[in-house]
Amino acid sequence: MSMRRAMKARRALTAVAITTGLVLAVAGCGGGEGDKSNAGSSSTPAGQGESGEEKPKGEESQAPPVEETVLAEVTGGQDNTTLIVNSAVRDGGGFLTVSGKVKNGKGKFWNPGNWRGEEKELSENSASMAGASLVDRAGKKKYLILRDTDGRCLCTQFSGGFKENEEKMWYAQFPAPPAETVKVDFQIADMPVATIEISDGE
């Protein structure tokens, strides 16, 4: 298999892992430094150093962890929750996918039941990101979360709630603002407003 095909397969696996359960979303993908480790050939057997001595398990060279982009981070609400936004990607199909992490800072079990919002159509989306919205202040327009014909939001549902200090990944999909809009305000429930910058997907 060529290096190009190997990198393409790796990027596809990465995107699937990050966006499990995601419907009609676009996820950014990219190779890490680990792709370069196999770029050249070597006569040294795996698990041995240049001197030929076998390395102890766990000491094989590994790519350094990739630092995640943080577009915004807010902490607050009645439950002292931390919400992080890592990406906001607009695709050519007219969708905007926002994703990140949520951490429970309540000090005990937490179930974000009120995050589903007040809309009657979304009443079956308890403990989810269904109540999230985007506000384009420049364009004076508010964007509500997308949902299917059965009223299920195109977003993460936090099955089982959060244990103490537990952190979970999330995503939420919205109609994409016009191309000239590069910043929007993200808000959900009683959390502080998070201003985020939009990027364009491939």
For the stretch 3-21, pLDDT in tens is 444 444 444 433 433 333 3
User: Could you tell me the residue range of the domain that residue 169 belongs to?
Assistant: 72-200
Q: Which of 9-18, 54-63, 114-123 has the lowest mean pLDDT?
A: 9-18
Please give the Cα distance from 202 to 29 (Å, whole number).
10
89 in a structural domain? yes
Share of the chain above pLDDT 90, in %: 50
Q: Quick check: is 41 in a domain? A: no
Per the domain annotation, does 188 fall within a domain? yes
Quick: pLDDT tens for 71-80: 999 999 888 9
Query: Is there a domain that residue 52 lies in?
Result: no
Query: Does residue 5 fall inside a structural domain?
Result: no
Phi and psi, residue 49, nearest 5°: -85, -175
| Domains of the chain: total | 1
Residue 113 lies in a domain: yes
CATH number at residue 186: 2.60.40.1240
Kindly state the average pLDDT of the residues 60-69.
58
Tell whether pTM > 0.85: no
Closest CA to 66 of 35, 108, 43: 35
78 assigned to some structural domain: yes
